[in-house]
Structure 1
């Protein structure tokens, strides 16, 4: 097939003769007949420019592997007054193969377009590639800007924005200072992008350093700038300063808006300071700024976290009376609040109300309700709700499966828990650490420790970051099964993986030792806890007291009780039950009775275990009951 036939075959549109097309045919012919010569050396920039202008993109695409950067650079310069055409040309010449100079020229040409998106799309791969550092890119953009006679600083602003969108904020800041050194003033939108990225990355100190630099450069802040800095103060927990900052922005002639106040209201509510949030809400109204749905949702959320559910419901009704339409998020806040309090009736009431209002429940809505049903051991209702969710076209997510697996694990249905695990995998949903912890817990409670260990090994091989909770579940299972050697090997493995043990880890190991009568070994673990900086709690002391009491070593048991008091922990029902049981077994009923009186005087109500110990110790049911009643 001849060259012109090849070209005609590749483009079925009517063939248009253009100037220099013969040169192009010649180049194509030479590229197929003589590989020793560079085809680009026989193609003039004019040929490529005319090909681009007549949309003969197949010519350019076919030749692109053989076009050098110098030739492409010349074509881009010739097309710079028609940036749309230049951008199309760039897309057909394998942008990633170009040298940094040509890339930056292409970016500079694209910056003439009304939308910044094409320029950002070229900047991001350039910044992320290894072709040059951001300082070199900045300098090359400056040269391209001069060559094209661009008077604005848009290229540098977009470079900083690209860095921010890629979370490469330090490189963006470097460009900011390079602009400053050249006497250029970044746009306020550029500064806001840097500040916002620092905020998202929780680098509040860096945000303040940049803000101070902006102030020195007399870059005028917008309301968006002030809102970011108020958010920074809120994140730092400086809520009073955040409120005072409103006065500062007003003095500079910038009026706060609803977002300004909502930021502070949300911060107060998230820290449980609902009354402070109410004060800000009133201040907002006094300035003539009407609260919106977000304002009320924040207050409702704060009240729910503070377990002030009736007030939250009243606030919700007030919000509706003001003509504000609640979102699914607002309903979910209330549903979550009532689910946490175990009031499923009210939780489902709000689910039904949102449906009546034409607001579709979300996956989060169903997740909260399913979890609440599992907490009440209403397994069938939870299953029905998951089916309803799927019927409405909502796919269970990672959280849904974690709830299902955890729920069935807690109820001892290991088979069903693992069936959901398998279903997750078939749907391409990766189990979370919580999911695996639930499965290990379920196996441990069913004494299936070999399977639990095997699952743990699989988790490790998958690269899942195991935590102290997962280790504790596995250690608890081995301690309960008397396999202390394996339990302590897991403690060593925690150290190797830099997973610090906590008080639960040690309490579990202590309980394992005491179960086997090795109270001295358990006592040594308390000292080890202290060396690690872990403070023993009432569970630690009660474990030792129970261990000594079961063995009849009441002096040691009382000594631990005194140590418990000296460290600021008050004896609990478990403490007294263990001591009473120990003295009763030692036939020292008088001391047991004194302890009973003491616990009642401290407001601790005896339970069945207390009375059974006394009855057993005294050997006379009537006498025991009479003694208990006299207390």
Structure 2
């Protein structure tokens, strides 16, 4: 009954009455369901109240109600009608990742959305042509006769003319041109070949409009076209990039069904799809299965697997695969060796990286700039500057000129160490060698100055970058916004936030995290909700960093119950808390005089083998000492050593200070002696 009434109000555009009834049913102890939320979201979208629609959509998720296909289709359809196709595609991507399969309504909405954008552009073009005919061509009699028919066509015919014209472009410049070409092809007589359709589907996929390409394929099939191997390879690629590996393998089945044999592009695309969707194990199984069935793999196949293994921290497995390749038909190459060296360096296994470096030289491979860059980066990560400098000099002696990436590695490493003067000296070296600094160089310098809290100098580097003809990107703005927020200069940060949006730079999750962190630390919690709404309206999902920032802000502003509720909501949404999350939770509960809850959670984490670090132990030990639970704190201290978690100065201070504060210096002395005896200090 409630849902029927709310839906009725929504359809009559009486949105205020519908919303009042929604809150009234909640006050009376009734829980809204998916139907309630869908009716309200649809009504707000219909009335162009996007912020309210997104707010309700997010509220629905937070209440543990999973959106269904209808929920997603409401948003996709509404965005498409507004011509905001990129937002609609982002929602389709979110929808697929959440396990909801798009249906005909979804795909039709996407196609209509692209059509709206295209028609708007063509209407502008048509109007512009009329202006030309009236005010330009009339001055040229020789042109006016032959041109008249072009400009006296009715609007539909004029649009068709434009479509036909665009359909002949072999390389559409944007998604609107691709959609125009596609529609023209489908309505053309004689019937176009699948090869022509493949060109357009391929161009859309290259533009990364994967959901759109999938929707167009559905239309191609519905029009009776028979897909060929190329078509299905494009479809597989699109499914892989939206995380739908089941559908990607279904397309492989379709290849076999139409009588085609999958080629190496098909197989490599599927392997890459498994790797980019964090299923490297399945990619290796797929590789073994293909070899068992007699399929021939190539260098790209093995390069894909090695890259997938290294990116998931399984570099030693990649080495085994490389060794296995040495005994097969496809031999390892420099790119594969570089990938493994880079993987070892990122895992800080520079000894293994150097061993492979020397082994590849012994086998007759010549290292290139990429090889040296990987090794230099690895040594910089481990603060081994002499080794990095030695490699840099060796590189030059071998006749390999350092490129901008080489210099950027050194600049970035210096800045992260707080040695901005050294970084500036390297920039001077860059210029003397004839290499021009790029955005990465300037961003590293900006970040370096922010790390030492010199945001003013960071701003000067930002301005210098623009003066030198380089465009500031989202990363550049994020550095400054984060630097300002850390110094509680939140108003200045928001001015930059507005500036970046005015330059058509779209804030990302890092931008929003910095702003929320700044608002929390400056005590402006009332403004946080608006930023969260905007973030979700922009299609950005909250990550673990965001939750940690918000949890910490709620605890420090004494909103303890809200913080606990947020943590529970986070777990309900299957967002895995990390050690930082638990440390924030424990600290908040201890400081909020809820030690029993903190102790219960800590014991649960210990029993279940969660990797607790020194900060988590310190928070719990400090809480126990402050509560006068001396024996329990000491026991936890020894448990810390047993779990091979070493004490640091903060832990030591947390133990001794409460005792000294209570005038219990003898007890502090006895504890120190005991800690020395047991080897804790």
Which segment is superposed worse, 581-590 or 435-444? 581-590
Are 1:159 and 2:235 counterparts? Answer: no
Are 1:128 and 2:262 counterparts? Answer: no
Unaligned runs of 5+ in 1: 1-7, 16-31, 33-56, 65-89, 142-155, 606-631
Are 1:474 and 2:550 counterparts? Answer: yes
C-alpha deviations, 1:298-329, integer Å up to 9, x for none?
22222222332221221112112211122222
Q: Distance in 2 between matches of 1:511 and 1:227?
A: 46
Q: Mark the CA change 1:397 to 1:594 in structure 2 (over 3 Å): closer, same or farther.
A: same
Q: CA deviation at 1:391?
A: 0.6
The answer to whether the 8 A contact 2:213-2:238 is kept is: no
Tell me what 2:467 maps to. Answer: 391
Q: Secondary structure at the match of 2:425?
A: helix
Are 1:94 and 2:184 counterparts? Answer: yes
C-alpha deviations, 1:9-49, integer Å up to 9, x for none?
99939x9xxxxxxxxxxxxxxxx9xxxxxxxxxxxxxxxxx
Q: Distance in 2 between matches of 1:466 and 1:513?
A: 23
**1:354-433 matched pairs, under 5 angstroms:** 354-433=430-509
Q: CA deviation at 1:398?
A: 1.2
Q: CA deviation at 1:576?
A: 4.4
TM-score (norm 1): 0.67
Which segment is superposed worse, 200-209 or 297-306? 200-209
- 1:107 pairs with one of 194, 197, 207: 194
- 1:268 pairs with one of 327, 340, 344: 344
- 2:322 pairs with one of 243, 252, 263: 243
Q: Distance in 1 between matches of 2:331 and 2:568?
A: 59
The answer to whether the 8 A contact 1:120-1:158 is kept is: no
Q: Distance in 2 between matches of 1:432 and 1:482?
A: 29
Are 1:326 and 2:402 counterparts? Answer: yes
Larger RCO: Structure 1 or Structure 2 (Cα < 8 Å, ≥ 6 residues apart)? 2
Q: Mark the CA change 1:354 to 1:167 in structure 2 (over 3 Å): closer, same or farther.
A: farther
Q: Distance in 1 between matches of 2:628 and 2:441?
A: 54
**1:419-498 matched pairs, under 5 angstroms:** 419-460=495-536, 462-498=538-574
The answer to whether the 8 A contact 1:107-1:119 is kept is: no
- 1:499 pairs with one of 546, 559, 575: 575
Q: Distance in 2 between matches of 1:178 and 1:488?
A: 50
The answer to whether the 8 A contact 1:239-1:268 is kept is: no
The answer to whether the 8 A contact 1:233-1:242 is kept is: no
The answer to whether the 8 A contact 1:159-1:172 is kept is: no
The answer to whether the 8 A contact 1:204-1:232 is kept is: yes
Which segment is superposed worse, 430-439 or 587-596? 587-596
Q: Distance in 2 between matches of 1:218 and 1:521?
A: 60
- 1:12 pairs with one of 146, 166, 170: 146
Q: Mark the CA change 1:400 to 1:510 in structure 2 (over 3 Å): closer, same or farther.
A: same
Q: Distance in 2 between matches of 1:327 and 1:380?
A: 29
The answer to whether the 8 A contact 1:503-1:536 is kept is: yes
Q: CA deviation at 1:471?
A: 2.9
Q: Distance in 2 between matches of 1:324 and 1:380?
A: 37
Q: CA deviation at 1:433?
A: 2.2
Tell me what 2:38 maps to. Answer: none
Q: Distance in 1 between matches of 2:674 and 2:182?
A: 88
Q: Distance in 1 between matches of 2:570 and 2:204?
A: 46
Q: Mark the CA change 1:493 to 1:457 in structure 2 (over 3 Å): closer, same or farther.
A: farther
Tell me what 1:342 maps to. Answer: 418
C-alpha deviations, 1:78-100, integer Å up to 9, x for none?
xxxxxxxxxxxx9799212369x
The answer to whether the 8 A contact 1:163-1:171 is kept is: no
Q: Secondary structure at the match of 2:391?
A: helix
Q: CA deviation at 1:432?
A: 2.3
The answer to whether the 8 A contact 1:373-1:379 is kept is: yes
C-alpha deviations, 1:436-485, integer Å up to 9, x for none?
22222222222233233443454445553223332332332333333323
Q: Secondary structure at the match of 1:130?
A: helix
Q: Mark the CA change 1:438 to 1:98 in structure 2 (over 3 Å): closer, same or farther.
A: same
Unaligned runs of 5+ in 2: 1-141, 165-179, 206-211
Aligned residues: 506
Q: Secondary structure at the match of 1:494?
A: helix
Q: Distance in 1 between matches of 2:323 and 2:277?
A: 24
The answer to whether the 8 A contact 1:554-1:582 is kept is: no
Q: CA RMSD in A?
A: 4.4
- Structure whose CA Rg is larger: 1
Are 1:314 and 2:390 counterparts? Answer: yes
The answer to whether the 8 A contact 1:405-1:439 is kept is: yes
Q: CA deviation at 1:387?
A: 0.9
Q: Distance in 1 between matches of 2:163 and 2:470?
A: 49
Tell me what 2:32 maps to. Answer: none
Q: CA deviation at 1:341?
A: 2.3
Q: CA deviation at 1:255?
A: 5.3
TM-score (norm 2): 0.62
Q: Distance in 2 between matches of 1:323 and 1:471?
A: 50
The answer to whether the 8 A contact 1:134-1:175 is kept is: no
The answer to whether the 8 A contact 2:350-2:375 is kept is: yes
Q: CA deviation at 1:192?
A: 4.8
Which segment is superposed worse, 90-99 or 554-563? 90-99
Q: Secondary structure at the match of 2:146?
A: coil
C-alpha deviations, 1:471-510, integer Å up to 9, x for none?
3323323333333233333334434544344444443344
Q: Mark the CA change 1:129 to 1:473 in structure 2 (over 3 Å): closer, same or farther.
A: same
Are 1:292 and 2:371 counterparts? Answer: no
Which segment is superposed worse, 202-211 or 433-442? 202-211
Q: Mark the CA change 1:387 to 1:417 in structure 2 (over 3 Å): closer, same or farther.
A: same
The answer to whether the 8 A contact 1:230-1:245 is kept is: no
The answer to whether the 8 A contact 1:239-1:267 is kept is: no
The answer to whether the 8 A contact 2:163-2:184 is kept is: no
The answer to whether the 8 A contact 2:416-2:451 is kept is: no
